Amino acid sequence: MADAEAAKPKSGGARQCSVCNQKRAALKRPKTLQQICRDCFYSAFEEEVHNVIVGNQLFKRGERIAIGASGGKDSTVLAYVLSELNRRHNYGLDLFLLSVDEGITGYRDDSLETVQRNKIQYGLPLKVVSYKELYGWTMDEIVKMIGLKNNCTFCGVFRRQALDRGAAMLQVDKLATGHNADDVAETVLLNILRGDIARLSRCTSIVTGEDGPIPRCIYSPNAYRGFAREFIKDLERIRPRAILDIIKSGENFRISASTKMPEQGTCERCGYISSQKWCKACVLLEGLNQGLPKLGIGRTRGLNNDHKMDATQTSGSKPCGTLDF
């Protein structure tokens, strides 16, 4: 009788973990609505990531994988879980940390210190590429010229290309990025609102950019843009699974066979992937170098007589953080 009484979960208001029925629940998982303790969450999380990797055959033994490391929580978790699972399950991968130094005083300096700690903690090589090295400009210098209003356009475009260039320097096979379910759901909504069928058709894919320089693996195991973020968070408060439902809708999106899709080419200037003569980064960079920083942002026509670019070529900038798959 005494043993039976001891086996019962203790009462007192606190919910017990629905998995182990021993420890106090620390969170409610939106995906399963389970009340779960910290240790059981860690185990479930790591096992789900492993199942996604194996089930989708994301990696092959011997591949070189760059992990986009910003120093933030998502990329830090990604670095930990990939290095841990690679060791635990013997994937046979060569992992590298890849960071971008935008040149933002007092911001990127601190986050790069976190990445340096990750390098030591997880025993992973680190490569840092900078805007100054790649483009001749830091974000601080760009902000002095352009102001605060449009600086995210430059940062987002330059960062995406910088990651690809850094991955090419490391000669990796794939680039893994730490985007979470919120990011993917926001991107689905924004692509719907923009009517961007091409990006909508691929923004929920677990591997993207296979026709580009480096394929990207999107980390979203629990799988900002202004109003989209607020709207999604409002939905989540009403229905916890709302974020996952939006992602599922994106996954179920189908394009009519008669829909004409944009053709992907390469930039005549730098060789980067582009559907226009010049990629967005080169357009923005040319504007900076000519002292006309808004050249690639507004509805202005033409860089010069040889490369006239109308609004469809020079506009279309995306807010900082948008997943441009």
Q: How many residues would you count in the chain?
A: 325
pLDDT at 260 over 80: no
According to the model, what pLDDT value does residue 212 have?
Answer: 62
The more confidently predicted of residues 83 and 29 is: 83
User: Average pLDDT for residues 73-98, to the nearest whole number?
Assistant: 95
According to the model, what pLDDT value does residue 261 have?
Answer: 66
Question: If pLDDT is split at 50, 70 and 90, which confidence band does 292 have?
Answer: confident
According to the model, what pLDDT value does residue 51 have?
Answer: 94
Structure tokens at 230: 């607020």
What is the 3-class SS of the chain, one letter each residue?
A: CHHHHHHCCCCCCCCECCCCCCCECCEECCCCCCEECHHHHHHHHHHHHHHHHHHCCCCCCCCEEEEECCCCHHHHHHHHHHHHHHHHCCCCCEEEEEEEECCCCCCHHHHHHHHHHHHHHHCCCEEEEEHHHHHCCCHHHHHHHHCCCCHHHHHHHHHHHHHHHHHHHHCCCEEEECCCHHHHHHHHHHHHHHCCHHHHCCCCCCEECCCCCCCEEECCCCCCCHHHHHHHHHHHHHCCCHHHHHHHHHHCCCCCCCCCCCCCEECCCCCCEECCCCCHHHHHHHHHHCCCCCCCCCCCCCCCCCCCCCHHHHCCCCCCCCCCC
User: Average pLDDT for residues 196-219, to the nearest whole number?
Assistant: 70
Which are the contacts of 316, defined by CB distance < 8 A and separation ≥ 6?
A: 280
According to the model, what pLDDT value does residue 141 have?
Answer: 93
- Please give the annotated binding residues for ATP, written as ranges: 68-70, 74, 100, 178, 183
The more confidently predicted of residues 272 and 67 is: 67
Angle separating helix axes 108-122 and 73-88, nearest 10 degrees: 10
The more confidently predicted of residues 302 and 237 is: 237
Question: Could you give phi then psi for residue 78, rounded to 5 degrees?
Answer: -60, -45
Please report the domains of the chain, with CATH numbers, ordered by start residue. 17-54 (no CATH), 58-178 (3.40.50.620), 179-259 (no CATH), 265-314 (no CATH)
Per mean pLDDT, which of 106-110, 154-158, 179-183, 215-219 is the most reliable? 154-158
According to the model, what pLDDT value does residue 190 have?
Answer: 80
Report the predicted TM-score, pTM, of the whole model to 2 decimal places: 0.74
Instruction: Kindly report which listed range (36-50, 116-130, 293-307, 309-323) carries the lowest average pLDDT score.
Output: 309-323
pLDDT at 310 over 60: no
pLDDT exceeding 70 applies to what percent of the chain?
79
Whole-number average pLDDT of the chain: 80
Question: If pLDDT is split at 50, 70 and 90, which confidence band does 224 have?
Answer: very low
User: Average pLDDT for residues 179-185, to the nearest whole number?
Assistant: 78
Question: If pLDDT is split at 50, 70 and 90, which confidence band does 162 have?
Answer: very high
**Which amino acid is present at 10?**
K
Question: Could you give phi then psi for residue 266, rounded to 5 degrees?
Answer: -130, 150
pLDDT at 157 over 80: yes
- Please give the annotated binding residues, written as ranges: 68-70, 74, 100, 178, 183
The residue written with tokens 């830091």 in the block is 138
Structure tokens at 8: 């019962």
Per mean pLDDT, which of 76-80, 296-300, 315-319 is the most reliable? 76-80
Contact 96, 170 (CB under 8 A): yes
